[in-house]
Each structure stands twice: as C-alpha cells, then as structure tokens.
Structure 1
Amino acid sequence: MSESLSDALIAKLDSREAVMGVVGLGYVGLPLCLAAAARGLAVLGFDIDEEKPRRIAAGDSYLKHIASADLAAATGSGRFTATCDFARLSEPDILVICVPTPLSRHQEPDLSFVRNTARAIAETLRPGQLVVLESTSYPGTTDEVVRPILEASGLACGTDFFLAFSPEREDPGNAAFTTASIPKVVGADDAASRAAATAFYAAVVEQVVPTSSTRAAEATKLTENIFRSVNIALMNELKTIFEPMDVDIWEVIEAAKTKPFGFMPFYPGPGLGGHCIPIDPFYLSWKAREFDMRTRFIELAGEINSSMPHRVVNRMALAMDQRLNKGLNGARILVLGAAYKKNVDDMRESSALKIMVLLEARGAVVDYHDPHVPGIPRTREHPQLAGRSSVPWARGLAGQYDACLIVTDHDCVDYAGLLEDAQLVVDTRNVCRRSGADGDNLVLA
C-alpha cells in the first residue's frame, strides 16, 4: 500500500496537481510558500496569527526581505492562499511544519509549538499525506516526538502516511541565495517517505540532498550552525587576545583570507543573534546529556559569544573614560542597529537588546536608530524595551549624544556623516572603515 500511495503522491507532484500546506508563515514558511508557488504548486498556508492571512491576501508583505510585489504575484496567480482554519489541514497532500523551536529559560528545548502542530495535523491526517518537519531540533525529534503523535491517529508511518525532516536553510537578506537555489537536505526513516519527500523538494528547489534518516538530517542542521558558532567564538576570543598586543583582528582576517586553502573567514561581533546560532547548539548539548556526554567545545563557544555584549559595554565605558573623561552614568548613548544582522528587520535574539539593557543598568540614557526596526516588540528576555521607537536619522543627530555605538551594520546608514557629527563612535562591526569612513573619534570594539 505504501508504494502505491507514495507513487500516487509523486505522480501528483510531477503533474503539479499536488497541494502543499505550510504551517507557520514566518521567516521560514513564507519564503517556502513563494518558492513552491513559483514552481507551479498550489500552496495553502496556515498560521495562528489572523493578521498574516489577511496581509497575504492583500499582497502586503510583513517581512522586510520579502517584496510585496513577489507576494502579490503568488496570491494573484491563485496558487497561494492562507488561512487560520486548521480544520483544513486535510486538504494539502504535503504538510510542512515551520514553527518556532525556542529554548526555555533553563536552556532546554521548547517543542510545544511542534507538538501542538503535530496534534492538529493528527486530527485530520489522511492516507497518502506527507508530513515534513523543518523546525530545527535535536536528533530524534521527528522520530521520537512527531511520529508518535501522528500515529496516534491510527495511521502507520511509512505505510499510510509519510514523514521526513528537512532543515531550513534560510538566510534573510542574502540576495545571493534564495529558497529555491539553496540545496535541500532531506532525511526519512523509510524508503517510501524518503522517495516522497525527495520528489516533493525536487519540485520546489534546484538540488535535493537525501540522507539515510531523519536523525542524520537533524544533525546536519545542528552541525552547520555549531560550526559557525565555534568559529565566530574563536574570532571573538582572538580579538580579545590581539587587542592588548595592538593587533587589529580585522586586518588579520583580511590578510588570512587571501590564503586560497585551509582558511575560511569568520568575523567577531557584539554577540550572536537570530534564531539559529544562539539557540541550535544548545539542542545538541541538551540531547548529549541523555547519553552522559558533555559538549565542551560547544558550551565554551556559547560562553564566549554570550559574553560579548558585556565586553562591548565595558569597551565603551573605557573609551568614554579615555576619550571624553566621562562615565556611562548619566551619559546619552545612541545605539545604531537593533536587528540581529544588517539589512533585515529580524530582531530574534538580537544582541542589541542585551547591550541596551546593560547600558541602562549602568546609568546611561539610551536611544536607538534602526531604519528597519521602527519599534521594539515585546520579547521574553527584555520586556522593558517593548514599545521603544527608533529615533529618526538626520545630519547632526549623532552630535546630540555623548557617544554612538554601532551594533548592526546596515548599509543605508551614513557612516561618514556619523563620524563627522559624533563626539565618539564605538564600532563593533568595523563598518565605518569598510565603508571608507575613519576618524580620531572612532574606536573599534
């Protein structure tokens, strides 16, 4: 039966008669919907936020890096619609889960969104459907958490329905790579599910990379982000070591990356942000404890990266003391950038929020400017910042503050003008010099 159901689904994908459903229309789910619609698939999006289906229907993008014109083209073609009605989960032939997987306050995986979505799918699960988890988690999540919930419906995985894991690889704001052009890793625990999932993604993206199991695919995602976390931590540590030696880490990296083999450039910064790098390594650390193992490398990298906001604030305090003969207490500080990376409006785990809180704890009066983040939403970790608004940029603005701190290196900021107007600029991204701006009032942090 599984072969006939799998073959039937693959045939529907080949003829573009299959309907794809995506649960969670955020930074991962919405781009996937647009990529599938562009390849001729009918797409039905699901989200608990009633505002998202309304804006999708109007062709009004709520993500900075997704153009409203692209969204309007997908909805205007009739291939993409969205709903909050989860009773319609039986309609799609493929259901892709793209919901958050945050950490608890105790650095433990919070799979409540995944579990709740799996339960909703189980209520309407029908023979022949393919379910794919894209939300990042520890190896074993698909098999140990999602599969039992779905099989509680009475249907058997690999026989009646199909189940796979395919890690998201979105990089918001990266114009060089799109959802369709980034190779897609796909893992499943039975041949029928693997064949169905591979055929599905082959209909949406340019290259599919099958793995032998869901665990291998889950581990692939964690490995990618742990690799980045460890190497960023190394650069952060080297920066700290080189600084008292009067060695510029940015110059060192530029020189080192001219080597055509054996070196890959990573860059220091004010701390990690986004959903992936600050969170994903802890999923593996948590799972490793089940096997009585410690992830020492991963944990050390996390400690180094987590300490960077404190180091930035200390560096700023020292610069103000040395350059302005003034302390942080009572100082007016302008933070440039609230998003976690340049040219996007994504504030998840942004180090800018931690830095603002630390500055205010030392008595500073803090404003921020970010053309992509007009207001700070409520966050679990820093609720006291909710409702803050970005101050509008104008020449001369920087001169109204004792010092300016660059946390996010957005391209649209006038860094030359900033240096001309400010008493002191502390740059955590080396963006001033990269943009050709420099001055005696510039300090790297």
Structure 2
Amino acid sequence: MQIAIVGQGYVGLPLALQFARSGVKVLGLDIDSAKVEALNAGRSYIHHIPSEAVAEQRAAGRFEASTDFSRVREVEAVIICVPTPLNKNREPDISYILNTGRTIAPHLQKGALVVLESTTYPGTTDTDLREVLEQGSGMKAGVDFHLAFSPEREDPGNPQSRVAEIPKVVGGLTPACLERASALYRKAIKTIVPVSSCRAAEATKLMENIFRSVNIALVNELKVVYSAMGIDIWEVIDAAKTKPFGYMAFYPGPGLGGHCIPIDPFYLTWKAREYGKNTRFIELAGEINTSMPEYVVHRVADALNDRGRAVKGSRILILGLAYKPNVDDDRESPSYVLMDMLHQRGAIVEYHDPYVPVIKPTREHPHWAGKRSVPWDEATIRSFDVVLIATNHACVNYRQLAEWADCIVDTRNAMRDCPTRPGQVWKA
C-alpha cells in the first residue's frame, strides 16, 4: 500500500514515519523544497525527531518526500496535515486546507481515501473540503472517493508520547468512508475510536483543546489572586494533585503558545456565531490567557523597582523562546509577546534558547527575524539586570543560573529545586 501525507511538519512527519515503520509506503508531500531535500537526504529538521528515524525509513524504501503533488495519482490514500491559523481578525483561516484540496483533486484516483487531520471547526470536512475535492476531481465524495476526518494528537517533546500508542479518533462522511479510514489507521495505530461523523470527530479535537485552555486560564487567574494573598500557586497545585480523584493538575505560565491552545478554541467561537450561540466561557478563558504576558511584565517591573531600576534601559534576558519545554517549536510563543512588551517599554531585550539558535521570520513578529540566542556563560548571564524564565527547558542548568543571576523572574517554577538567595527569585 502507498499513501501520501501532505505537510511534513510537527504532525505530518511523525505520522509518516509511523506508517512507514508499519510497512506502508509513504510519500511525504510539502511545498517547502528545503524540507523535502533534507528528508530525502535522511535528515530531520525537527529537534525531537532524530535523523536516524528518517534515514532508516529512507533506506528501507518506505519513505520519500516530494514537492510534486501530481504524484497523488500514485497513492490509495491522502492524509492532509496542514496549518489552520487565525487571521489578523482572529477568524479561522482554512485556506491551507482548501488550497491543498484544490491541488490534489485533479489527481485523485477513483476509490481513493482523503483524510483531514488539521484542527478546524465542525463542518469543514463535509462541506468546505468536500466541495473543492468534488469540483476539482469531477467525482462525488462517499460514492467515487472516500472522505474522513481524524484529529491529530501529536505531543511534541514528550518522550512518553508514541504515535502508535495514542488512540485515533476517526469520523467518516459515510459508514463506508469510516470503515476505509479506520482500516488505514489500523495499519499504524493500535487503538481506533470510531465516531458517527466527520463533525463529531472535528468537535472532539476542539473539546480536547478547549478543556486545556479553560483549565490553564483557571490556574492563571488563581496564580494572580493567590500571589496577592502571599500564597504560592505551585505549592497549592502540588498539594491538590495528591487527591486521587476529582482533580487534574494544570499549570500556570506566561501565556499560551503553540499551534493548538491559543488558536483552536476560537474556531468553535467563530462557528458558534453562525448558529446564534455565544461561547462566553471559552472567550473568557482566552482573555485571561492572553493577559498573562502583561502580568509577567508587571512582575519584571516590580523586581527591577525593588533594586531601584526602571524597565527602560535595563538589560533583560528571556530564557526560552520555544512555546513549551524541550522542543524547537516557537509558533505563537508568549516569549515573543514578552519581548515586544519589554522592548516597547525601553528595555534592552535578548534571549537564550538552545533549541532556537536564531529567530526565523514569522508573520506576527517579523522584526525579531535574524536575532540570535546569546551564549550561556557566566559573563553573559551576569550582564543582565533580570533573567525572565519563559520556557523551562530541561537542558538548562538552573543551578548555574542561580549562581550567576542577581534577579530572576520565574514563570515556570523552574528554580524550585535550586538554592537561591532571599529576594533573588520572583515568581510570575
């Protein structure tokens, strides 16, 4: 069997390698020729995916990358793993999905299966994507070709996360579409969770991420309240999670990052308005989470004021640019917002992140493109007035940081096990 996976990023590449390990021949399609060249040379460009994993499947002849989307005619199934961002008005942008659909439609073979994995609002697969596929192919979904939705559940940087072990939710346009998609995923995934429709599967993914967004907002709000009361939120969470039932630990931070939690809930809020419904709970969670960088900046100002300094003119080091620990993914990272806010207040801002040695161009923060991570050494760290821990990478030596830095603002409780001086560490 041969399949194509469109999009060889943080979702598509791990999925492609898992299918290849399971004996399926995989064609990885991507518009980025540099990525394609690297993959065909057996090199990974994602930190937590070793190059050996790519090289092994290349050598076995089970994985190949290409920019030629006409090769869809060679495969029995196409899995779409492309970005679904928000536009500048915080409205869903499904253009990547639709453009992919238009590109592959003329090359679809009769009886082929198309599965969308990109997170989106309910109805995208069976209306928007279906329409462009039918128009471009001249075939009818559910009759001439199969159509399904199966949400990605990738957890980058988590060594316990295995693609094959994560249950796969699948919803089809028709019962036959569901069976075809389930049969495909059974080749690579141990547990398949069939649901009644594409829309139910789309809604499942949104529920998972909205659940996380709302609970993170709760602990972020409690962090601010408890701080005013002189209570350490981290101590409270550690105590609460000893309860063996009825509680699940979530942790505060400087804001939300990544391509899921800051974005996906708003796909539902936008779609809900079409039905005359308001999602006040989701929107409130979004407001709380997006306000966290402002709170962190105030804590930085408090820490500086305690030392008789203003934010303006101070040298501030952002420790961690990636949106979560131990990955090189900086999409939607709150660190960029913190850098912007501190820079606007007149601070001299630098960053250190071993996973992001240089900042690549981004749509939201193009002005930081080309900036490089400062070195990790005593002289460099001592040159800053404040070190702001935004991402707690495991490879950072926090004991050295405690020795070298006079003032640390810690948004991740990274300094909890390090001996520090009184007043040295401010929690935010």
Q: Which band: TM-score by shorter chain?
A: over 0.9
Q: 1:375 maps to which residue?
A: 358
CA distance in 2, matches of 1:50, 1:363: 40
Does residue 77 of structure 1 match 2:77? no
Does residue 317 of structure 1 match 2:301? yes
Question: Is the Cα contact below 8 Å between 2:146 and 2:173 reproduced in 1?
Answer: no
Q: 2:211 maps to which residue?
A: 227
Question: Is the Cα contact below 8 Å between 1:415 and 1:437 reproduced in 2?
Answer: no
CA distance in 1, matches of 2:298, 2:162: 38
Shift of 1:189: 2.2
**Given the two structures, how large is their TM-score scaled by the length of structure 1?**
0.95
Q: Which amino acid aligns with 1:438?
A: T
Does residue 423 of structure 1 match 2:383? no
Does residue 295 of structure 1 match 2:282? no
Q: Which amino acid aligns with 1:140?
A: G
Shift of 1:380: 1.2
Q: 2:87 maps to which residue?
A: 104
Shift of 1:439: 2.8
Question: Is the Cα contact below 8 Å between 1:397 and 1:421 reproduced in 2?
Answer: no
Shift of 1:438: 3.1
Q: 2:418 maps to which residue?
A: 436
SS state of the match for residue 409, structure 1? coil
Shift of 1:414: 1.0
CA distance in 2, matches of 1:423, 1:53: 46
CA distance in 2, matches of 1:320, 1:244: 18
Does residue 154 of structure 1 match 2:162? no
Q: How does 1:62-141 map to 2 (within 5 A)?
A: 62-141=45-124
TM-superposition CA deviations, 1:12-70 (whole Å, max 9, x none): xxxxxx11100010001000000000000000010000011110111110000100011
CA distance in 2, matches of 1:438, 1:79: 52
TM-superposition CA deviations, 1:377-404 (whole Å, max 9, x none): 1111111111110011113422111111
1:246 to 212, 230, 239: 230
Question: Is the Cα contact below 8 Å between 2:168 and 2:192 reproduced in 1?
Answer: yes
CA distance in 1, matches of 2:228, 2:179: 56
2:178 to 187, 194, 207: 194
Does residue 171 of structure 1 match 2:148? no
Q: 1:10 maps to which residue?
A: none
2:125 to 112, 136, 142: 142
Shift of 1:121: 1.4
SS state of the match for residue 306, structure 1? helix
Q: 1:9 maps to which residue?
A: none
CA distance in 2, matches of 1:439, 1:19: 60
Shift of 1:421: 1.0
SS state of the match for residue 180, structure 1? helix
Q: 1:284 maps to which residue?
A: 268
**Given the two structures, how large is their TM-score scaled by the length of structure 2?**
0.98
Closer, same or farther: CA 197–238 of 1 in aligned 2, 3 Å: same
Single out whichever of 379-388 and 278-287 deviates more from structure 2.
379-388
Does residue 412 of structure 1 match 2:412? no
SS state of the match for residue 417, structure 1? helix
Gaps (5+ residues) in structure 2? none
CA distance in 2, matches of 1:348, 1:161: 34
CA distance in 1, matches of 2:131, 2:228: 55
Q: 1:391 maps to which residue?
A: 374
Q: Tell me the number of residue pairs that the alignment of Structure 1 and Structure 2 aligns.
A: 426
Q: Which amino acid aligns with 1:150?
A: L
Q: Which amino acid aligns with 1:266?
A: F
TM-superposition CA deviations, 1:82-136 (whole Å, max 9, x none): 1001111111111000010000000111111100100111111111100000000
Question: Is the Cα contact below 8 Å between 2:170 and 2:201 reproduced in 1?
Answer: yes
Question: Is the Cα contact below 8 Å between 2:122 and 2:199 reproduced in 1?
Answer: yes
SS state of the match for residue 234, structure 1? helix
SS state of the match for residue 79, structure 2? strand
